Structure 1
């Protein structure tokens, strides 16, 4: 009987709702089911996003600034919906059903996009030499395009919020062997993300340009359908995490309870505050944000009569100290959260204006003409090379010299922000050179300057992503309570979304301010007539100011926690 009990995994069940049996469920076979869906999701979302600006400009005949905003809004919405997807998974559907349903939504959106880009009726007629002004896409044509894109965004947001969590659910953290396998899973999971991104900016972009977008998007739809079928085939072998309720509800309960008791006098004796968590699961009380402590002051009327006659605490009136401290921990994440948004605004330029720059430059290698969107392979390459060098060189050196595991999460975020500043400076200098060539080249469609001169800006920002992405993920996971880790991961992903939206906002503001008196603005429809270098310089200045603000936050606002406190705040408590 004892051996049988050891084969059960706590907090997870099988497909029939019984306690999961280690010998029959979970492990690598079950975890690998999500890898196919993740690589296909990256192939679709990035493959569409990275080359969409050229389609909008050359085929739909939209202005350059409007096209860039459509791309960043599409990608930004995809990441923003991750927060919604996590809420749906935690509160209603569970991770397995969320992945399955939203994968179908993304496959549907990609399939419709394949059809819409293939039908001549859904795009304007091509320009010709007799056309004074190319005809822009009609409202109907743009509505169909938006429908396809935002179905894909909805699918991406829903499934991306749950794939990594569902994969980790297939391993038992209390089993040493499975805990090691879980660490290996996350490494392979990131590898599959990078592989999907690399295939998107190389193979898929090439197919879009040389064979046809409709064929490329149709392939993505087919791959997603196959991935869904493989995922569903493992239903019987998977482990399913029990839902513990929405963390957003828990946060709202603390806020509402503290507001209701805002007029109460705070007793300096914290021992009198309400606490119902087992001692091993308690989070120590802190003095910061003491106004929230009023949610833990117990007064008459906090208990409500239940139907079975038992008195139970009403969480909207009274919350435990540990529940209050969870909310405090999330609040402490916000300064770093706010100062990392700017990086993803810089990141957005690598997928929009940098691709448009490349489209005006020579991209030949022998007889082979590299698609403009495929230049972002150097961006992905910068990320992969930096990760490899960091893991294989930097971390071992840190272990031998200082007995550390490498840079801290805050240091990695800082390095990423610094590299983004250098990337924008390099981009501004390169664009200034490209514009000088454009002025002397006259009406030539392809400028006599190599697109490979854009590599420094791609590589610097790509290296920055390697540091800031891993640093942010580590920071938000280790500094949040375990019961809110899914939400804190969603909070991290909103920095990507808000950075993309900020890019759209800046583009709109700069276009509005610089287009006056009939003069071409910085972001002209034809970038050879604009001053994109000024826009890059503006981003370099804003990134520098943001970097200084981050240093202040890291030095004075965020207080490092001791290992003991990390242990206490990482427990899963449902108090």
Structure 2
């Protein structure tokens, strides 16, 4: 048996395993015992508890870094920003490990304990004075605070990035593992079930965020950060208990080796044969070595004309010679379509970055905006500005069930789709709606500034509620639609990795926010007689935050039209003239052949 035949045989065996979801013993799953919402409920449990734990730490971390570890304010802000960005970037690593080597369940279990150890170490450091720099009198001009250095600093960053590593690797796998519990098996209601699960997952996320931003932040404020970190550790432990409780009910997709190898082979093979001419008929393209096996690469998806240069990777040089060709020179149509899918979803992913840039403003400038307003609900009780972030989640806990129970059935009668609207349509609605969040923020900020400067009156903090409410509504469409889109469009074996891309959008959105602030300050300073930019002062009454909000609203409108272009480009892919079947764009699990060789 030559090398290429042996490699193809290994690939076919791998795909046969991938077609069958297995239980905890590695045996094929039983439809009446494994999977379904009964199994997914345990995944929803760890998702709620994990976001509860990480959100409580992340939203109040700057208080601990600045007040207890005594890092300068600018450095403290960078520490928090780097921490959040690292979490989302590490989601790619978690998705890669899961799809390639460990599988979703074991990836979640291992890194869940990594995250738990980070919370415990943070709690120990916050509790023991010898692990923190000495307290200082902030009122004394002679007493200067000394920031944490050496061993104390090492312990802090070790704990912080254990949390980041654990949370980052957990996030994409919670979504993917929950989705894996719903096997398609030609079920006409599969799309509806999957959409219901993603809505339930987002409800679980909102519930965890709401508890974190209210109860857990209150515990941190009243009882100390050591108790607060300890409560986060308890929440994480409860999440792991929930995960392990469903051990006997899960459908598990076996890992299939490195997901990057077959992708790299397509590019190498296409480059090697770059001088070849793409055939007019797809029947001339290489499909499978196994002539006895059904041609699973066609019949349920269309061979597309996007990125046709990649089709050169599966051109047969001459009849009969393909048996001796290296897998790095000859790929199957299915492998090429997998790479095409990954390339095709990148523009959709890029269109959500502006959306998350707006989210960054709501977590920074809008909180600062609320700090300069009247926060008193009664004479004796005031609302912490950071708790404004709980407003959208409080609303979403009500809206998500209404969306599933009222909106979807109503729209289903019109569109004849089980999920009501497609994931791409759902993302579009969110990207359009989020513009009005920045419009509301700009109008409120202008009125607040005029009132503060003209009459020195403080507006009520509740005037900022509309911008948070509108963003919450738009996030229900965009965030859930994006996750559903990536999961459904991904081919067999890369669901976790592509789902992780949704979290990278958060990182890029926050990084773009920092870049925009710097650029706006630089541009407006150079064109201003006062030599001060829109956001260069530490006083919002002197800054022009309202103009910055209007800029973001304008960018959001442009981004929406950009998204319309790319979503139409993605949806209106013409099939090649000779392709068979006109079904869906993606492959089903039982129709993937030789993806991972």
Q: Look up the SS of the partner of 2:21 in the other structure.
A: strand
- Indicate the larger mover: 166-175 or 76-85: 166-175
Shift of the 509–107 alpha-carbon distance from structure 1 to 2, 3 Å rule, reads farther
Q: Which of 243-252 and 49-58 deviates more?
A: 49-58
**Contact 2:533–2:543, Cα closer than 8 Å, also in 1:** yes
Partner of 1:308: none
Query: How many residue pairs end up in the alignment?
Result: 558
Cross-structure match for 1:251: 263
Q: What TM-score does the superposition give when structure 2 sets the normalisation length?
A: 0.81
Structure 1 residue aligned with 2:96, among 83, 87, 91? 87
CA contact (8 A) 2:306 2:573 kept: no
Task: State the 1:133 CA deviation.
Answer: 11
1:431 aligns with 2:445: yes
Is 1:550 equivalent to 2:563 in the alignment? yes
Q: 1:299 aligns with which of 317, 326, 335?
A: 317
| SS, match of residue 459 in structure 2 | strand
Q: Distance in 1 between matches of 2:141 and 2:453?
A: 24
Q: Once the two structures are superposed, what CA deviation does each residue of 1:522-567 show, in whole Å capped at 9, x if it has no partner?
A: 1544545543333323322322222232233334564168994317
Name the one with the larger strand percent: 1
Cα distance in structure 2, aligned partners of 1:123 and 1:419: 46
Contact 2:489–2:586 at 8 Å: present in 1 too?
no
Q: Aligned equivalents of 1:427 and 1:54: distance in 2? A: 25
Deviates more, 1:545-554 or 1:209-218: 545-554
Q: Deviation of residue 232 (structure 1)?
A: 3.6
Secondary structure at the counterpart of residue 32 of structure 1: helix
Is the 8 Å Cα contact of residues 171 and 500 (structure 2) preserved in structure 1?
A: no
| Counterpart position of 2:279 | 267
Counterpart in the other structure of 2:178: 167
Cα distance between partner residues in 2 of 1:211 and 1:163: 31
Alignment of 1:328 with 2:340, yes or no, is yes
Describe the SS at the equivalent of 1:554.
helix
The 1:503–1:205 alpha-carbon spacing in structure 2 relative to 1, beyond 3 Å, is same
CA distance in 2, matches of 1:408, 1:431: 36
CA displacement, residues 26-47 of structure 1 (integer Å, 9 cap, x when unaligned)? 5555443333321121012222
Cα deviation, 1:424-457, whole Å, max 9, x if unaligned, reads: 1221222233334554688xxxx73321111011
**Separation in 1 of the partners of 2:230 and 2:48?**
16
- 1:416 matched to 2:430: yes
In structure 2, the partner of 1:573 is: 592
Partner Cα distance (2:267, 2:483) in 1: 26
Distance across 1 between alignment mates of 2:461 and 2:440: 14
SS at match of 2:233: helix
> What is the SS of the residue equivalent to 1:217?
helix
Q: Report how far residue 412 of structure 1 moved.
A: 2.4
Give runs of aligned pairs for residues 240-389 of structure 1, distance below 5 A: 240-276=252-288, 278-282=294-298, 283-299=301-317, 314-366=326-378, 367-389=380-402
5+ unaligned residues in a row in structure 2: which ranges?
A: 1-16, 576-580
1:408-557 pair list within 5 angstroms:
408-439=422-453, 448-510=458-520, 522-525=535-538, 527=540, 530-556=543-569
Aligned match of 1:11 = 20
CA contact (8 A) 1:84 1:158 kept: yes
Mapping of residues 85-164 of structure 1, within 5 Å? 85-119=94-128, 122=132, 125=135, 128-131=138-141, 135=145, 137-138=147-148, 145-164=156-175
Cα RMSD after superposing both structures: 3.7
| Range with greater deviation from structure 2 (254-263 or 530-539) | 530-539
Change over 3 Å in CA distance of 1:243–1:373 after alignment to 2 = same
For residues 77 and 136 of structure 1, the distance between their equivalents in structure 2, rounded to whole angstroms, comes to 27
Normalising by structure 1, we get a TM-score of 0.84
Q: Of residues 386, 391, 410 in structure 1, which corresponds to 2:404?
A: 391
